[in-house]
Structure 1
Amino acid sequence: MAQAGPASDDAADASLPTAIVSLQVIEALANAPQGLGVTQLSQQLGMPKARAHRHLRALRDHGYLLQDPVTNQYRVGWQLYLLGKACVGRFDLMTLARPALERLRDAVGQTVVIASYAEQAVAVIDFLRGTSPLEITLRPGSRFSHHASAQGKLVLAYGPATLREQYLARPLEAETPRTITAPQALRDELDRVRRRGWSDAPEELFTGINALAAPLLQAGGALFGTLAIVGSIHYLPAEPDPAHVEALRRTAAELSAMMGYADAS
């Protein structure tokens, strides 16, 4: 009887092309700035350690990953950083999404914002100016705390569980008198966000300002960031117009589909 060789370790994920597995490894490390070890990565991706190690070693040898000589953990390397910069220079999210964003802006009349996120805050990537008499303008790169913003609540509700638990373990500071600062109240709010698929934050971040936000999901369902409409509480009241919510969710679903997300519901 033939002896099982190293290739037999790959049985669980042999259906995936090698290039896709390498991209999954890169994506996992890109979302772990502190780095990952072989065991952590194999557990996270559900693949045998032997296969994870082969991909890590190959990517390291070609400059796409770095390996800490003390901890042996891997993290993104300069070659991958330069590749990312080249891709960003050629593909502009706002350009690709502009037709859908313009339709949303014209439907609601308010500023439309796309944001990404980090451990402690959401960050504005770009925005499209509204058409209402009172215009809200945001600077790309502006950061807002998760618990006080509609976008941040989505991150806590749809993002990694580790991020949510770490954030909820820290003090929640009040941005306005309406900011949610009690951890259990915030957990209840996040449950509500998940149930309805969108969030708001009437006067919780800035007095007189509200935002409605919906998640932007990538292939596989991972959170990419958020799509929001932002405006005066006069135009976006605490009880939002169902038409605004529907337009927001429809556009977020359209952009998510562009990023490869397939809604299984």
Structure 2
Amino acid sequence: MPRNTAPDNKDLPHAAPGVDAQDDTAEQGLPTAIVSLKVIEALASAPNGLGVTRLAQLLGMPKARVHRHLSVLREHGYVDQDPDTNQYRVGWQMFLLGRACTSRFDVMSLAKPILEHLRDQVGQTVVISTFSDNEVVVIDLLRGTAPVEISLRPGTRFHHNSVAQGKIALAYGAEKLRRAYLAQALPASTRHTIVDPDRLAAEIELVRRRGWADAPEELYIGINALAAPLMQANGELFGTLAIVGSIHYLPSTPDPAHVQALLEAAVQISAAMGYNGKPTR
């Protein structure tokens, strides 16, 4: 089953190997955990990211120690590194942590009536996800009403090439994300997973043309998903809305009514987040 990446005590940055707590405390007069939080605070204040040198200057720390904190935080999903610029920025795990700590902007609450209506229309599990450079991350979901229930939980991660949500991220996300992902080895989950970069690139173009994605039995045998983009007010991709269910209920040639219901719900949720255009890339 998919692995749940919600952090527990042993996964917190100050407990991970590679950071010398005594050294940092002596140097900075602060516990290692606080130094890690200050690294995250600095990155959160820099939308375009920061390099190691600039971050070390801002924090008044040696570059080597900043790099060690960044390495551990990146390993656990708290920061990401841009493959083109090597700049660091806050990662998807911070998104999930922030979602758990605040209710100021909770897309599930904002979209709940729309999600419930979609779930009732299609009878399947409805999932909202965000994404990182290499993976889709489940934010939350509504269980379906079909006899066969798909087990998911917030924090579950999937490779982009194995799920419909990932194809949306590649189709509507930044060009550099798409280039970097297509340049690496593509992992296989089943014999149906797309692992050829040229074929995946063609699939991405198809997704852009029709505005939605599917992935019949590409993650698990017997499971399919339909996904559509969720756009933010600034025109950037927020994440994805997906219907997930048994291949019996979501066949490889999907019901046009299911596709239409999904697209309408995605447009409504995007509008609720302030977006009033048409998703394009």
Partner of 1:179: 193
Q: 1:219 aligns with which of 233, 238, 257?
A: 233
| CA shift for structure 1 position 29 | 3.6
Partner of 2:4: none
Matched, 1:149 2:163: yes
Matched, 1:247 2:261: yes
In the alignment, residue 234 of structure 2 is paired with which amino acid?
G
Partner of 1:90: 103
Partner of 1:140: 154
Which protein has the larger Cα radius of gyration, Structure 1 or Structure 2? 1
Q: Determine the C-alpha separation between the residues in 1 that align with 2:264 and 2:145.
A: 20
8 Å CA contact retained: 1:30, 1:75: no
Q: Deviations over 1:72-117 (max 9, x none)?
A: x98669xxx8xx9499512322112110000000000000000010
Three-state SS of the structure 2 residue aligned to 1:221 is coil
In the alignment, residue 228 of structure 2 is paired with which amino acid?
A
Matches within 5 A, 1:188-203: 188-203=202-217
Three-state SS of the structure 1 residue aligned to 2:229 is strand
Matched, 1:231 2:245: yes
In the alignment, residue 210 of structure 2 is paired with which amino acid?
R
Q: Determine the C-alpha separation between the residues in 2 that align with 1:235 and 1:66.
A: 54
Change (3 A) 1:205 1:75: closer
Q: Deviations over 1:22-73 (max 9, x none)?
A: xxxx8894464xx269xxxxxxxxxxxxxxxxxx9xxxxxxxx869876xx9
Change (3 A) 1:136 1:76: closer
Change (3 A) 1:69 1:224: farther
Q: Determine the C-alpha separation between the residues in 1 that align with 2:87 and 2:162.
A: 34
Q: Unmatched 5+ residue regions in structure 2?
A: 1-42, 64-85
Three-state SS of the structure 1 residue aligned to 2:242 is strand
Q: Deviations over 1:128-157 (max 9, x none)?
A: 000011111201100000011000011011
Q: Determine the C-alpha separation between the residues in 1 that align with 2:136 and 2:273.
A: 20
Matched, 1:127 2:162: no
Partner of 1:263: 277
Q: Determine the C-alpha separation between the residues in 2 that align with 1:244 and 1:68.
A: 54
Q: Unmatched 5+ residue regions in structure 1?
A: 1-25, 38-55, 57-64
In the alignment, residue 130 of structure 2 is paired with which amino acid?
S
Change (3 A) 1:191 1:86: closer
Q: TM-score by structure 2 length? A: 0.67
Partner of 1:110: 124
In the alignment, residue 244 of structure 1 is paired with which amino acid?
H
Q: 2:220 aligns with which of 198, 202, 206?
A: 206
Q: Percent identity?
A: 55
Q: Determine the C-alpha separation between the residues in 1 that align with 2:207 and 2:258.
A: 16
8 Å CA contact retained: 1:115, 1:226: yes
In the alignment, residue 128 of structure 1 is paired with which amino acid?
L
- Number of matched pairs: 212
Q: TM-score by structure 1 length? A: 0.71
| CA shift for structure 1 position 199 | 0.1
